Structure 1
Amino acid sequence: MCYACSPPSARRGPRSSPGPRRRRAKDPYDDLIRRPHRPRVRRRPRAGDAHRRPRLGREQDPAGERPADQAHRGVAPRGEPHRRHRARRGGDATGRRDRQRAAEVHQRRYRLRRRPRDQDGRHHAARLSHQRGHPADPHRGGAGDRPLARQDRPRPGAGEGLTAFPPDNALSRGLEHHKAGRWQQAAGLYLEFLATHPAHPAALHLLGDASCRLGDPETGIALIRKAIALKPDYAEALNNLGAQLLALGRRDQALASFRAAVRCKTQLLAPLINLASLLVERGEAEEAIGLARRATQRDPSSVEAARTLASALRATGRLAESAVVCEQLVRRYPTSADLHNDLGFALASLGRSDEARASYLRSLELAPDSAHPLNNLGTLCRAQGRLDEAVEFFRRALSATPTFAEAMHNLGEALAAMGRTDEAVTALRQSLAWRPELAEAWNSLGNALRQQGDDEAGASAYREALRAQPGHAGALNNLGLLQWHHGEVSAAIGSFREALRSQPDFDRAHSNLLFALHGEPSTTPAELLAESRAFELRHAPPRASLARPHHPDRTPGRRLRVGYLSPDLRQHSCAYFLEPLLGAHQREAFELFAYAEVRRPDAVTARLRSLFDHWRSTVGLSDAALVEQIRADRIDVLVDLAGHSADNRLTALLARPAPVQVTWLGYPGTTGLSTLDYRLTDHCSDPEGESDAFHSERLLRLDGGLHCYLPHADAPEVSPLPSSRDGHITFGSFNQLAKMNDGVVAAWSRILRAVQGSRLLLKSSALSQPSARSRVLDAFASHGVAAERLELLAWTASTRDHLQLYQRVDLALDPFPYNGTATTCEALWMGVPVLSLAGGRHSARVGHSLLSLVGHPELVASSVDDHVDRAVELASDPSRLAALRASLRDEMRASPLCDAPRFARSVEDAFRRMWSALP
């Protein structure tokens, strides 16, 4: 199974507001600092007041607006009533004046960009970390670096008592320095003021913020807490305390601080938006939607409130609603580059790739030096398999913003997908050097380290991702895959379940869970069916709109259009069973279409491609796009070859793109999907009366077996019996460690103890890892088998070298209850008899099916004791072993297992019967 997952992305706030520049925006603190407070006389409201009132930047620090600000409502000074700043948009005079004011705010922000600042990473460290609702979202880390926490400078109402002092007092002068970014001078004046007014909340808050900016966050936080103790409903200080705590990674404390700010009787938007953003990160997006809606109701003109709502909607899988919000913003501000970038991200989440690309390009037209649309264009290309183009976009983004951590992370992922693993690891480590709290980069680093063959380091990186973001679904899923690979099946099942709790619509984790359950001996067929049906219940509703009725062409005897959907049209064990069928199909009666989810084609891909009439790459296609492609091809029978194995496209099949849908080959059980009509099997693997009740599909049993094997063209010749040369019997198993449960180890240990001097040769890629080797050795040692009786191998240079290892094996042992398939066929072709144990479900009876097809049902045991007895008996009869070794290849070649024309006729007859059964 693949261990890549769907990461998040962060978004950047709009850097400018549309509209022409007219005049300088008035600083709302000018009156506060430069003249004493004069209470205003409230007059009767008049038409047009909304556009006359000054607008404040929503993202505010304690002494000035940040460049990424948009609209926010201020709090009036003491003695002045609260005012609601509602701006109307449109073509009338009021709308034009609103746009004028927006332009003035933009000019002020531009000046503020040029002032000295502390490291933005301190205040921009926390980002949205996962796009819940679209685990396969290609735009991980893509849309920008919008800060999660917004700070508010103390407003006039917050600096209570400030106007009681002369305009040239130390606090007022300190605030002037604060606004100019001169934190050291500001701090000195605040200390001077506090010497005579030690319990002044605003001064303590300002000094705390200055301390944080000067690199002493602990002192700054303590001062802000002191201000809050003096004034418990100090909303600005509570909000800024949350921002500082979040920058230090103290998310739980930040959450409590934002909640306290929201509870205050304040008109501030920032606490609502910050709390909503943090809840999205924590996977609590439903509550976030409510908060974001409150923010948009409080100020309908607030861009940041609307953007937060769009993010929360996307996190809950309500992608269409999220896109609508983004489209509305773009209509209101058509010249905002950042909003076009947001819209592109929303459209990409919906699978509308062409429209997304157009939005990103429009963003670049408006802001040619913007790194974020370049980064998103790269993620779009990467998802479509255009890796060279993706790398170029990521490098351009890094040229525009040299320390853009998300772009460096995405570059690392693209390089890893190209097989340039060393470069990928370097890029990912650099991304983490810039932003060590970036959970997605830790997750991707784990994947890249595993590609390098270092599972231990990969697991450590996944755990770092979980420390950075507890409940990170991608890291949990990847940790589960690693545990499965190492044979820790129960732990893997737990990780997959935890990933689903964190992200309920994570279909890849759900498929991995179902696959892993086949390796758990205690799982019953009824439990597998129930767990599998839950997949459709959870993932079908978002795709219900894709389903449409079919009107098939019922012309008798016409050529049927058959599609094969698979990620394994490459060097993969499934190819050995598919290729003979494709080569033997009657092309005059069947037109063949390939739907290939193949990211890295190889020589096997090229060979298989030549056997199809039509080849469609599905890499980067959304479910909607894949469904439309299959419909456009007018497929009559669609064959899924993956089931719940890696890189499957089962979620697209929930929309039933073909009138007849079948599953076969790549998965050892029911998919649980009601939209899959049939499952091809045989009488031995799924006996009548025993298996049918535990499948959502109708079982269609092929008389000559459900497999047809194509031996490797470069397979070595069968060797003499190894024990005649070595002086001892060597048992062997080349299956995944996930199939070697405690019951298997116990049974095989009994065999080794009973056969004097015997050895066991195990081969699995996981055995390259020290921890996996230790686990296997310890397991056998607990049953009295010394380490010197085991030989553990992990890797061979070629398939021929792999097959040559069978020349060292006298008798192969099949694991249970999850039997081998390709490994059993390989062993038989190399003349090595395989001892299997038939169980109570499909995955436990495949060995029985294969051995029956080659004419050796006597090699199938009915119980663990029978399995041990047969192994000991056969190992004690070297002449029988030698005879089997000499005859097995010829027997297999002449058996139904290698009779491609017969198998193809059987499958084609099944397709015709399925087609005829349509109503």
Structure 2
Amino acid sequence: MANPQSLTFTAGQFTTASSTPVAKAQALSKADQKKLQKRFKDLMKLANRKIMAEDLDEAELLLKEAQKIAPDNEELLNNYANLHLHRKRFDLAVVPLMKILAKNPQHSMAYANLGAIMNKWQDFPGARKCFEKALKCDTKNSVAAMRLMHNSLQLSAWDNWDDLDSYKKLFYEKISTMDPGIFLPIVDDPALQKAKSETYFNGLVGDVPQNRPAPRQRGEGDKIRLGYFSSDFHKHATMWLMIRMLELHDRERFEIFIYDYSTTADEMTERAKNAADHYRVVRRMSDEEVVALAQADGIDIAIDLKGYTSGHRTPIVFKNPAPVNVSYIGYPGTIGSSKLDYIVADEVMIPPSLRKYYSEKIIYMPDCYQVTNDQRNVATKIPTRAELGLPEDAFVFCSFNSHYKITPFEYEIWMRLLKKVDNSVMWIWCKEDLARENMHKAAEAHGVAPERVIFADSVSQEDHLARLSQADLFLDTFAVCAHTTASDAMWMGLPLVTLEGKQFAARVASSVLQTMDLPELVTTTMEEYEAVALEFATNPDKLAAVRAKIKTNRETSPMFKTERFTRNWEQQLERALVRCESGLKPDHLMP
């Protein structure tokens, strides 16, 4: 969050180690001043890294040491705000920023960081004002530009979307504290994603050498030890997909370790515990302690299930808890460093032409890379359309992707479809009242009655699956398409029209549909997307035929053959380990 500034040390800024002010800066030689400046920069860099890694107590100690050198430095104050933000002490986070603005009311980065706090405080309109003010103070503030665009998605307030092209150049600026995942829904650009991930990785971990454990000398019959690392071993999309696979691991050949740093526990947690041979609760341990534990456990392959998603502790896997380290399913994109051996995909997700956008080598699954649960439960009571607030006789388009994935590009097409398809409605999952209000306003601006855009609330997974049976056609989002929601739709026999993009996050639904042998639902341009959706919406026989095809293919497709996926998964992981044991470097592993 901090903005590196040129350091200017004036008389009275310097202090000794005992915090006693030196009378005059002139008393210090130029060499001593340079040493202090370098020490301050090093402390700021390390503190930033600790904050990014959620090692907040250590970060605070570093900031306090830096404060002895330059107590009023703006970078220091920004970093204190960032520290409090990560601790969710929003009241404290505001204080150092207001101190900056009291001295310099045109400080662009202070406004950008204040907006980030307002965003976390769920005051999205207030955050928007801060980002706009930041850009007025400095039109080239890339952090403010990015956060403003993301805020517009959270609010479904797209009036600034015309500025996207001019902002794209700013997005390539190297800001090490900027989470690369925040760019995913804004633009489908795998080159940008790789660049942001590389910069983020360097800020998070840097070039500190990490000692990788040598592979164990496995004897005949020794089990391969798999370690899964995540904070999502509870009712979370990752576990909805993975839990059955964990339970189906061949325990004669594999020994399963789970390293859980979750803050939530529920019945899904119990299932995960029962699926593991060894279940480690590590949330109160430092990254280094977790790595040491995993190395003591002698795991052969570490599998990170978070990437750069919320609550991640990906530095654990960067520090080599195992001879082979893999990124899977949590983050839809490259981690940005070849220090991580493998990312998992399939030939639809990452064809050879797109490999250049990934720092890792690729483990290719023979079918869809996305594991699914072929025993997922559906609520026994199917809600009526009336109970869901839907017209009984309408054609129901739907989108159950998170609403921040919706851009004006999709929405404009959806509104045109509503105008072209008589007696149709658009059913959208959205929890944010202001976003709902703005989407209704956008519908009116497109000449569509706002009551034709209907919103769905959050319900249990079982009830969600049940309600999907009342929709007619799922319309996908673009830059971040349907992932878990795509396999949900297929499970319930609901056709989904997707636009296959370039970045990982924009290709998952295409992979699901291709695995289901439904290429007729995959499009490659916005024009084709709209035409295909319109064709299915206005041709009842064609829609019925594709529904029947989904129902048949659900029983025969590898998409919902969890045991088959598990055996393929185990085979590919074993191949990766054997390469390592043979002294070979990681390489792409084709099916």
Superposition TM-score tier, normalisation by shorter sequence: 0.7 to 0.9
Structure 1 residues 449 and 830: alpha-carbon distance in aligned structure 2, compared to 1, 3 A threshold: farther
Bigger mean CA offset, 433-442 vs 802-811: 433-442
The offset of 1:859, in angstroms, is: 2.1
**8 Å CA contact 1:483, 1:492 repeated in 2:** no
Q: Distance in 1 between matches of 2:571 and 2:492?
A: 32
Matches within 5 A, 1:142-153: none
The offset of 1:313, in angstroms, is: 4.0
The offset of 1:910, in angstroms, is: 0.5
Tell me what 1:587 maps to: 251
Matches within 5 A, 1:470-549: 482-486=151-155, 504-506=175-177, 509-512=178-181, 515-517=182-184, 519-521=186-188, 523=189, 525-544=190-209, 546-548=210-212
The offset of 1:815, in angstroms, is: 1.6
Instruction: Say yes or no: does 1:856 pair with 2:525.
Output: no
Tell me what 2:402 maps to: 736
**8 Å CA contact 2:204, 2:315 repeated in 1:** yes
1:315 counterpart letter in structure 2: M
Q: Distance in 1 between matches of 2:199 and 2:96?
A: 41
The offset of 1:916, in angstroms, is: 1.1
Instruction: Say yes or no: does 1:691 pair with 2:358.
Output: no
Of 560, 565, 570, the residue aligned with 2:229 is: 565
Instruction: Say yes or no: does 1:672 pair with 2:366.
Output: no
Of 400, 420, 436, the residue aligned with 1:773 is: 436
Matches within 5 A, 1:605-684: 605-619=269-283, 621-684=285-348
The offset of 1:314, in angstroms, is: 1.6
Q: What do you get for the CA RMSD once the two structures are aligned?
A: 5.1
Aligned to 2:497, the other structure's residue is in SS state strand
The offset of 1:681, in angstroms, is: 1.4
2:409 counterpart letter in structure 1: G
**8 Å CA contact 1:708, 1:896 repeated in 2:** no
Aligned to 2:303, the other structure's residue is in SS state strand
Aligned to 2:353, the other structure's residue is in SS state coil
Of 576, 579, 589, the residue aligned with 1:914 is: 576
Instruction: Say yes or no: does 1:753 pair with 2:415.
Output: no
Of 837, 861, 870, the residue aligned with 2:532 is: 870
Structure 1 residues 496 and 818: alpha-carbon distance in aligned structure 2, compared to 1, 3 A threshold: same
1:753 counterpart letter in structure 2: K
CA-to-aligned-CA distance 1:336-395 (integer Å, 9 cap, x gap):
xxxxxxxx9579659xxxxx9xxxxxxxxxxxxxxxxxxxxxxxxxxxxxxxxxxxxxxx
The offset of 1:596, in angstroms, is: 2.4
Q: Distance in 1 between matches of 2:342 and 2:536?
A: 40
Query: Aligned pair count?
Result: 543
Tell me what 1:812 maps to: 474
Name which one, 1 or 2, has greater alpha-carbon Rg.
Answer: 1
**8 Å CA contact 1:446, 1:460 repeated in 2:** yes
**8 Å CA contact 2:430, 2:436 repeated in 1:** no
Q: Distance in 2 between matches of 1:292 and 1:716?
A: 78
Q: Distance in 1 between matches of 2:220 and 2:42?
A: 49
Instruction: Say yes or no: does 1:830 pair with 2:516.
Output: no
- TM-score scaled by structure 1? 0.50
Instruction: Say yes or no: does 1:315 pair with 2:57.
Output: no
**8 Å CA contact 1:273, 1:308 repeated in 2:** no
CA-to-aligned-CA distance 1:813-846 (integer Å, 9 cap, x gap):
1122432111122223333211122234433332
Structure 1 residues 554 and 850: alpha-carbon distance in aligned structure 2, compared to 1, 3 A threshold: same
CA-to-aligned-CA distance 1:744-773 (integer Å, 9 cap, x gap):
22332332232123211111234x22xx33
Q: Distance in 1 between matches of 2:167 and 2:229?
A: 28
2:532 counterpart letter in structure 1: R
Structure 1 residues 701 and 308: alpha-carbon distance in aligned structure 2, compared to 1, 3 A threshold: closer
Q: Distance in 2 between matches of 1:815 and 1:609?
A: 35
Instruction: Say yes or no: does 1:901 pair with 2:570.
Output: no
Q: Distance in 2 between matches of 1:845 and 1:708?
A: 15
CA-to-aligned-CA distance 1:96-116 (integer Å, 9 cap, x gap):
xxxxxxxxxxxxxxxxxxxxx
The offset of 1:443, in angstroms, is: 10
Structure 1 residues 883 and 299: alpha-carbon distance in aligned structure 2, compared to 1, 3 A threshold: closer
Of 362, 370, 392, the residue aligned with 1:726 is: 392
1:913 counterpart letter in structure 2: R
Aligned to 2:344, the other structure's residue is in SS state strand
Q: Distance in 2 between matches of 1:671 and 1:699?
A: 12
Tell me what 1:789 maps to: 452
Aligned to 1:827, the other structure's residue is in SS state helix
Q: Distance in 1 between matches of 2:531 and 2:97?
A: 60
Aligned to 2:247, the other structure's residue is in SS state helix
The offset of 1:535, in angstroms, is: 4.0
Q: Distance in 2 between matches of 1:433 and 1:504?
A: 23
**8 Å CA contact 2:378, 2:465 repeated in 1:** no
**8 Å CA contact 1:832, 1:884 repeated in 2:** no
Structure 1 residues 847 and 474: alpha-carbon distance in aligned structure 2, compared to 1, 3 A threshold: closer
Aligned to 2:325, the other structure's residue is in SS state strand
**8 Å CA contact 1:684, 1:845 repeated in 2:** yes
Q: Distance in 1 between matches of 2:30 and 2:472?
A: 77
1:596 counterpart letter in structure 2: D
Aligned to 2:534, the other structure's residue is in SS state helix
The runs of 5 or more residues in structure 2 that have no matched partner are 50-56, 65-79, 102-108, 584-591
Q: Distance in 2 between matches of 1:867 and 1:434?
A: 49
Q: Distance in 2 between matches of 1:807 and 1:636?
A: 43
Q: Which has the higher contact order (CA 8 A, sep 6+)?
A: 2
